[in-house]
Amino acid sequence: MAVTTPPSRPSATPGALAGTARSRRPKQSFETWSWFFMRVSGLLLVFLALTHFAITHIVNDVVDTDAAFVYRRWDNPLWRTFDWVLLALALLHGLNGMRWAIDDYIRSRPARAAVKAVLYTVSGVLFTYGTFTIVAFQ
Amino acid sequence: MARTAQRPVETKVGATRLVYKGKSGQWAFVGHRVSGMLVFFFLLLHIVDVSLINADPVLYDEVHDLYGNILLRLFEVGLLFALLFHSLNGIRIVLVDFFPGMVRNERRLFAVVMALTLLVGVPCGYVILEPFIDGRIL
């Protein structure tokens, strides 16, 4: 197959190497797994996020999704699980995407470290807060 | 997405100005980044507004009512298009990454992504704006 050499990043498309000798397969690193995670979580999120949006904006009008609506919905542990999986995957997927973008655009090392520190702190705090909201709700 | 995009060619204008040689691929890359960031920042906001339900359900309903006004409805339509484009373009990336032969159909795939985004986004966007179009709000 006339597939050109994959891009230079270590995490680039393992799939593109499927037909070549095993010895040429790049070493698997954190970035390989980060690449793979984005594909898998992305596909799951297509279903989770679009279903969530359809329920809260298309099937129901947004003004009807008030506190009473949430009480009814979170009465069912399956919806709580659905919402928590959506929260966790969306936040991790977005966090990793932001990390890639920061690596691409912020050239100065200290600035990059500072922006990432803020990003990780805010995401960590909100993940904990969101998880607490879903678990502690009654 | 960064993994499948062509390498940027730096101009002499400045270190941060990047020019891409791709056509649809370039716009797919830019759109994926921008839509991803928009959804991520909305997610952070959304965790906070939903979490109000534990702290103060009355405040939750007051804040939640804001989502029904026309400005935020327009924002929700934007969120819908960002979600749709990011989902469909993400599926395109997964196809290209896991089935290298797909690269040959890349331009056609991007056209399908754009067509489906509009095909689903326009009617669903209409549903979100309907109360305003009908004159029920504002």
Burial of residue B101 (CB within 10 Å: 0-12, 13-18, 19+) is exposed
The predicted structure's pLDDT at residue B79: 97
The predicted structure's pLDDT at residue B8: 53
Which residues, numbered 31 to 60 in chain B, qualify as contacts with chain A under a Cβ-Cβ cut-off of 8 Å?
A: 33, 36-37, 39-40, 43-44, 47-48, 50-51, 53-54, 57, 60
Per-residue pLDDT, averaged over A24-42, amounts to 90
- The yes-or-no verdict on residue A21 having pLDDT over 70 is no
Q: Nearest residue of A to residue B7 by CA position?
A: A7
Percentage of chain B beyond pLDDT 70 is: 83
Per-residue pLDDT, averaged over A95-102, amounts to 97
pLDDT tens for B77-95 read 999 999 999 999 999 999 9
A28 in any annotated domain: no
A96 in any annotated domain: yes
Q: Nearest residue of B to residue A98 by CA position?
A: B37
pLDDT grade for A11, boundaries at 50, 70 and 90 = very low
Q: A53-62, A64-73, A88-97, B98-107: lowest mean pLDDT where? A: B98-107
Q: Nearest residue of B to residue A36 by CA position?
A: B94
Of A45, A62, A122, the CB nearest to B68: A62
Interface test with A, best of B45, B64, B134 (most A CBs within 10 A): B64
A108 in any annotated domain: yes
The predicted structure's pLDDT at residue A2: 43
Q: Which domain holds residue A88?
A: 41-136
Do the beta carbons of residue A3 and residue B103 sit within 8 Å? yes
Burial A129-138 (b: 16+ CB within 10 A, else e): ebeebbeeee
The predicted structure's pLDDT at residue A9: 47
The predicted structure's pLDDT at residue A137: 83
A46 in any annotated domain: yes
Per-residue pLDDT, averaged over A24-44, amounts to 91
Record the tokens describing residue A16, joined without a space.
């593109």
The predicted structure's pLDDT at residue B78: 97
The predicted structure's pLDDT at residue B17: 53
Q: Nearest residue of A to residue B131 by CA position?
A: A61
Total number of domains constituting chain A: 1
Percentage of chain A beyond pLDDT 90 is: 75
Burial of residue B33 (CB within 10 Å: 0-12, 13-18, 19+) is buried
C-alpha span between A26 and A5 (Å, rounded): 12
- B chain contacts of residue A58, beta-carbon cutoff 8 Å: 124, 127-128
Q: Is B19 helix (H, G, I), strand (E, B) or coil?
A: strand
Interface test with B, best of A41, A44, A46 (most B CBs within 10 A): A46
**Beta carbons of A136 and B100 less than 8 Å apart:** no
Q: For domain B22-129, which architecture applies?
A: Up-down Bundle (1.20)
Confidence (pTM):
0.82
How is chain B split into domains, by residue range?
Answer: 22-129
Which residues, given as ranges, of chain B have pLDDT below 70? 1-22, 138
The predicted structure's pLDDT at residue A119: 97
Per-residue pLDDT, averaged over A47-64, amounts to 95
Of A9, A53, A133, the CB nearest to B54: A133
State the CATH number of the domain containing residue A70.
1.20.1300
Q: How far is A67 from chain B (nearest CA, A)?
A: 6
Per-residue pLDDT, averaged over A62-91, amounts to 94
The amino acid at B67: Y
Interface confidence: ipTM more than 0.90:
no
A29 in any annotated domain: no
